[in-house]
Structure 1
């Protein structure tokens, strides 16, 4: 098990004991490898693969799940998911349980499902990639978390604070199937989580279930219209076509006016060089899901 001590709000040592008690003795060999540095998660997972472990379990938020998935995608090593973050979209999408206790029950009575993952350049992502406003929201959220602690209220508040500070929209080109479309926008959101889109009342969830990206490009170019969209989403009002252009594809190139751009991916952020190549890697990650799962949310059961 790969654990991120920096995820969520709960007592990490207590959670580790619960996990160890539930799994130790039920497998041929159990090892717990923890870190409080997110940049070490992928190397820990890769080392676990090299050490010959059949299953690598990720305990933490969506950033932790994404880092471990990046090491396991394309291998035969199976991934287990234990939610330990704020939103846990990947765990919810898979239906493995929204608490550690429920997810542990899934691990002990599971089947293997090959699921799709997204890739931007050399990075694997599970839920979303975004350009424009959202990476700046993440920067704001980090400061709010440090001052007030992690919570959904703090996360939503960071959206409002960050949008108030935004001024300049992006000029970008999206290339799909040899065709180019030009946009002036404050936000591009490339989604791979059907659960997340359903939760926010946005179009594209069915496309994701069919193995595509739902690329949402905000029509709002300035903070105030974006703020109105954010309020509609926060209070459960569907935004859909009135707020976003939607592109459905499993392969695209996004080019921005800036050579370097801050890119948000599954709650993390990385500065990358434009143009950005994105593709869906179909069935490239083997994940443990409930034994009675028959859905096609993210892939095909083996």
Structure 2
């Protein structure tokens, strides 16, 4: 059951579902019921632990590990997946992924399926695969970490959504508002392999999702597949070109390589001129203290993927 080279015998496993009902899916309760129905009788023991609060996900996942479950199944968006992965990284507990968010980059990277139905089919015929995760200080992330413009776009977008509701127009407006407030670029030092590089920039994007980079049309996806980060540092300092770069990153549109300096590494330190910095990670936000130490944790998370090695993910846009 623990052998990562062999197909997982689901009938011999104790499985706990961690579901985030606050991921934004209106039919979340119906989907949770569908998950329960699909797994009932297929596993040795099934438990469902639900929450409407994202800050409770890590605690629920840690408790599931302590309770001895063989598999912890995360249902929700990339923020939910990252919270559960943070509790499971470095343990023998297997992680299953059920996409329930907007972009679901982690599920797409793994090839487990972009719908609940496909992901459940993967779970019923799966093998365990060790995968890399990113870490910044003591925080695990799956897809990306960013500093500067992007975290402030997320923060501004939340306020606009709360006041005016979710819409594409409101999302675009949030970028404009956030960029208007970012008048002073960051002065930072990136330390890689004993060398220092100095930058003046308003946006740093540390990518760890090959699928996401492919969808953005940026180089670096192959380096991520080889076990590295692709660190993108915006060259633009003036509002208009920076706004264009931020739009492309914020909305997954095709980006241009000449927008960014690119650093390929599996370990680096970033120091900014500010002691505290707002950090965006997998769609969530946290204030952290500079300098920031980032590393790839190689093979530190065991995830269920299709047993035959195939992928249920559609190709990313070039």
Q: What TM-score range do you get, normalising by the shorter chain?
A: over 0.9
After superposition, the CA RMSD in angstroms is: 1.9
Instruction: Quote how far apart the aligned CAs of 1:236 are.
Output: 4.8
Asked if the contact 1:166–1:222 (Cα under 8 Å) also holds between the matched residues in 2, the reply is no
Report what 2:56 is aligned to: 40
Asked if the contact 2:234–2:245 (Cα under 8 Å) also holds between the matched residues in 1, the reply is no
215, 231, 244: which one pairs with 1:215? 231
Any residues of structure 2 matched to 1:8-19 within 5 Å, and which? 8-19=24-35
Asked if the contact 2:191–2:268 (Cα under 8 Å) also holds between the matched residues in 1, the reply is yes
Matched, 1:197 2:213: yes
Instruction: Quote how far apart the aligned CAs of 1:231 are.
Output: 5.0
Any residues of structure 2 matched to 1:1-302 within 5 Å, and which? 1-147=17-163, 149-150=165-166, 155=171, 157-230=173-246, 236-240=253-257, 242-293=258-309
Comparing 267-276 and 143-152, the one that deviates more: 143-152
Q: How far, CA to CA, are the matches of 1:68 and 1:285 in structure 2?
A: 11
Rate the CA distance shift 1:155–1:115 in 2: closer, same or farther, 3 A.
Answer: farther
Q: How far, CA to CA, are the matches of 2:172 and 2:42 in structure 1?
A: 40
Question: Which structure 1 residue ranges, 5 or more long, are not aligned?
Answer: 298-302
- Deviations along 1:249-294, one digit per CA (max 9) or x if unpaired, are 0000000000111111111111111000000000000000111226
Instruction: Quote how far apart the aligned CAs of 1:83 are.
Output: 0.6
Q: How far, CA to CA, are the matches of 1:53 and 1:235 in structure 2?
A: 36
Question: Which structure 2 residue ranges, 5 or more long, are not aligned?
Answer: 1-16, 314-318
Q: How far, CA to CA, are the matches of 1:16 and 1:229 in structure 2?
A: 38
What stretches of structure 1 move > 6 A for 4+ residues in a row?
none
Q: How far, CA to CA, are the matches of 1:283 and 1:157 in structure 2?
A: 40
Q: TM-score, normalised by structure 2?
A: 0.88
Aligned residues: 295
Rate the CA distance shift 1:147–1:110 in 2: closer, same or farther, 3 A.
Answer: farther
Q: TM-score, normalised by structure 1?
A: 0.92
Instruction: Quote how far apart the aligned CAs of 1:172 are.
Output: 0.2
